[in-house]
Structure 1
Amino acid sequence: MQHSKLPADDSPNPDALFDGVDLRRLAERIPTPFHAYSANAIRTRIAGLQQALHGFDALLCYAVKANSNLAILQLMAEAGVGADIVSSGELWRALHAGIPAQRIVFSGVGKTAAEIAEALAAGILRFNVESADELELLQRMAAELHVVAHAAVRINPDVDAQTHAKISTGKAENKFGVSIDEARRWFADSARQANVRLDGLHVHIGSQILSVEPFRLAFARVAAFWRELEAAGHAIASIDVGGGLGVRYRDGQVPIPPGDYAAAIREALAGFRGRLLLEPGRYLVAEAGVLLTRVVRVKHGERRRFLVLDAAMNDLLRPSLYDAWHDIVPLLDDARPPHRYDVVGPVCETGDTFAVERELPELHAGELVLIRTTGAYGAAMASTYNSRPLAAEVLLDRGRHAIVRRRQSLEDMVAGEQPARHWETA
């Protein structure tokens, strides 16, 4: 891993200064596009949430899918944060980053027998179970390994998270979790599962939530079910309230203060003496990341002016996938007249568009632009579409920088590919 410190600059453009590093000078060393993350911003978000939860027996389990870079996971491990995983690959990453298995929970609707076996062998904290079929598979795999698996049933509370349809997970029509009626039957029959200790509840209603009301409603439904189960003699050792806290992508979006979020939990779960689990992902890392890119050219069409960047949808998919807004900030030192641009990348798709009719200062080829709030679901969702190598990732920390993933070479990109020399029949 490369560590270095850039020379001091007394008067950088404030938009270019990120965790004490001048991004313009960094771009002289590292070819664009690249992702940059502020370690200090991530630590601050972790500490703020942990402080708000003071008094709970609470464990933050970072949603690895948001940004699975090993250096980011190491920051989580150093802060005492666990991991919420959805694949054996994420389990491998979390363990290799130093997150103990006892701080790992396994979510997701499609856990395979092999993945369950790996997680059981590692000794993870808990499985969030999402179907009767999965519960039976977990029992079978745990029996084969002669272990007892701790499990939580993922409740689908049929709550509208008031977010984008593709990141809503708590409505009845979504694929996640089971109804309270079905969960009630699981607990009634739990004695049949000798190798699964069903002693937890889990709820996660969606992502990028900016109002505390959907959380209050979901927590209230889970709390009512917890009290019903306790009255029926089913001890509940943990309640996992999921993640979903939103971040600021544009003006007017105000994230829920951690204190307000914690207050909603305290109100709903008053009297609960077990362990509280939380699964923040985007909230911890999104605003800690930027994508630095350079203008390739300005193209004047018949009706539009196109700002063509060297970053593309393969580097940041969210605008194409969700029509998501990201602030776009030119790193300029002088005032210039505004123009309206369609901000696009070089990928051969009309969908390779970061913004439409976005007002920006006049820009020219070679000038730097940063795209904000890309620390979550940026590099993690990247691809090599159009045979474009994966961009570098750089961690910044109080004036220093370290490359935490080098830019993929073409040789790296085709590793594992080969001509069809050895033909076989099934």
Structure 2
Amino acid sequence: MLDSHFFSFSDGILCCESVALDELARQFGTPLFVTSRQSLVSQYRSFEEAFASLPHFTCYSVKANFNLAVIRTLAEEGCGCDVNSGGELYRALTAGVPANKIIMAGVGKSEAEIKYGLTSGVMMIKAESISELKAINSVAEHLGKVAQVGVRINPNVTAETHPYITTGDSKEKFGIDEAGLGEVFELFKTLPNLELHGLDMHIGSQIFDPEYYVAATQKLLEVLESARHLGFDIKWLDLGGGFPVTYDPQKPAPPITKFAEKLIPMLQDKGVTVIFEPGRFIAANASVIVTKILYRKKNQIGKEFFIVDAGMTELIRPALYQSHHEVLSVKQHDRSVVADVVGPICESSDFFARHRTIDDAPEGELLAVLSSGAYGAVMSSNYNGRLRPAEVMVDGDEVTLTRRRETYEQLVQNEL
């Protein structure tokens, strides 16, 4: 999707805020991730405005885009962070996020990661199994600490989204089923180094219908009442993330206010601070990938291909999730063609668009793959010996290099 507020055409050239993308490509090369700082801030503020009447705390989900400049931008707005590993915790702390604004999640945290979270002083560690609760207690006991813990509950709500990003169904690996909560609550009586202060859920990603949140939140509120009845001081109710964004203009996402209108009346008088964990919602449409057209070809059946210098190593979502990303020519043209936009990787799944109408741009010109800010660079790889691209952030007419392009030497630096 083209965010016209922050990515728009000026004199026939696609720009990020006040900077032309072709100028950035000349300066930093391609492929190149370009992020609008103002887009990140605008999305975060729109989320905060929607839920302003609800006692809440927003923790940006670092897994969506863990560039230090992105995390730092949101931290400067007062946002906390949700991290899923020791590495993401390290990134959040390095970006200047106070530890007491960080919640630590993850279905398979190691003892070393639990120790890192506790010694750093994170706000809460979320547990997803009985075995993990025992592990957190053991680490906390060894450190002489009492861990602030949340329990992730699987509400068994199957949302209508891609099966790979459905996380609230009992068939998946996440959380503790409702049926097992009695055993969990009993266990806390025997684990002196844990304090249960949070209840958590996450039903998936790209959830377009607010009613799925309503159904899952109702289940979480029932658990809240049970926990309080047993004497637990529940301070935080974590609804996770998954709020949708528009990738395909033909399938626009509902505004965040539609979700707020449903959830605020359910939660505002429950005596808890509601935690949200938006990631994609904030980052997805804040970035594009700028890529050069290396070659154009037409096969014997008349099918046309734009072969570009970015691929599934930079943005795996089309291959992994069959997801839609708009692709625009950086320089506008009067004519268009129907073609596949494909990368250089030796996989048939290496594509950005199939049978798409696109400007009739020649070899050597640039394309922009939109909505690349979430689950793009973070899921990049060195497959085929590829170098991870540079990343820049634009703020008005100011440009900052936020990640250098990798070198061949870095590909082998850890090998013996």
Residues 1:346 and 2:380 aligned together = no
Q: Which stretches in structure 1 are left out of the alignment for 5+ residues?
A: 1-9, 419-426
Q: Residue 12 of structure 1 corresponds to which residue in structure 2?
A: 11
Contact persistence 2:288–2:370 (CA under 8 A): yes
Partner Cα separation in structure 1 for residue 182 and residue 47 of structure 2? 32
Distance 2:232 2:186 in 1: 9
Alpha-carbon distance, 1:339 to partner: 1.9
Residue identity matched to 1:343: V
The code of the aligned residue for 1:330 comes to S
Shift of residue 26 of structure 1? Answer: 1.6
SS of the aligned residue for 2:155 comes to: coil
Q: Give the 5 Å matches for 1:134-213.
A: 134-213=132-211
Return the alpha-carbon distance in structure 1 between the equivalents of residues 69 and 141 of structure 2.
Answer: 36
Q: Does structure 2 retain, via aligned residues, the 8 Å contact 1:68–1:93?
A: yes
Are 1:122 and 2:120 counterparts?
A: yes
Q: Find the counterpart in structure 2 of residue 259 from structure 1.
A: 257
Structure 2: how far apart are the matches of 1:151 and 1:13?
Answer: 54
| Cα distance in structure 2, aligned partners of 1:57 and 1:149 | 23
Query: Aligned letter for 1:229?
Result: A
Aligned counterparts of 2:187 and 2:381: Cα–Cα separation in 1: 44
CA distance in 1, matches of 2:179, 2:125: 20
Q: Name the SS of the counterpart of 1:192 in structure 2.
A: coil
Deviation at 1:254, TM superposition (A): 2.5
> Where do residues 12-411 of structure 1 align in structure 2 (5 Å cutoff)?
12-13=11-12, 16-303=14-301, 304-336=303-335, 338-411=336-409
Matched to 2:371, the amino acid is T
Q: Partners of 2:184 and 2:333 in 1: how far apart?
A: 65
CA distance in 2, matches of 1:82, 1:160: 28
Identity percentage of aligned residues: 36
C-alpha displacement at 1:275, in angstroms?
A: 1.6
Q: How many residues align?
A: 408
Give the deviation of 1:378 after TM superposition: 0.5
Letter in 2 for 1:248: T
SS of match in other structure, 2:203: coil
Q: What is the CA distance between 1:231 and its match in structure 2?
A: 2.9
Spell out, residue by residue over 1:340-370, the C-alpha distance to the aligned partner (whole angstroms, 9 max, x if none): 2111101111111111111112221101110
* Residue aligned with 1:357, SS: strand
User: How much does 1:264 deviate?
Assistant: 2.4
Q: CA shift at 1:43, angstroms?
A: 0.3
Change (3 A) 1:334 1:257: closer
CA distance in 2, matches of 1:189, 1:333: 63
- Name the SS for the 2:257 alignment partner: helix
Asked whether the equivalents of residues 38 and 289 of structure 1 are also in contact (C-alpha less than 8 Å), the reply is yes
How far has the Cα of 1:274 moved from its partner?
1.9
Query: Could you tell me how far apart the structure 1 residues matched to 2:115 and 2:227 are?
Result: 29
SS, match of residue 199 in structure 1: strand
| Structure 2 unmatched ranges of 5 or more | 1-8
Alpha-carbon shift at residue 237 of structure 1 (Å) = 1.1
- State the SS of the aligned residue for 2:108: coil
Counterpart code for 1:71: A
Q: Give the 3-state SS of the residue equivalent to 1:114 in structure 2.
A: helix
Q: Counterpart of 2:346 in structure 1: which amino acid?
A: C
Look up the SS of the partner of 1:27 in the other structure.
helix
For residues 332 and 170 of structure 2, the distance between their equivalents in structure 1, rounded to whole angstroms, comes to 51
CA shift, 1:45, in A, is 0.8
CA–CA distance in 2 between the matches of 1:13 and 1:401? 21
Q: Is the 8 A contact 2:333 2:359 kept in 1?
A: no
Of 168-177 and 323-332, more deviation after overlay is shown by 323-332
2:288–2:368 contact (8 Å) kept in structure 1: yes
Contact 2:51 2:264 in 1 (8 A): no
- Please, what TM-score do these two structures have when normalized by structure 2? 0.95
Distance 1:227 1:73 in 2: 35
**Is contact 1:200-1:237 (8 Å) kept?**
yes
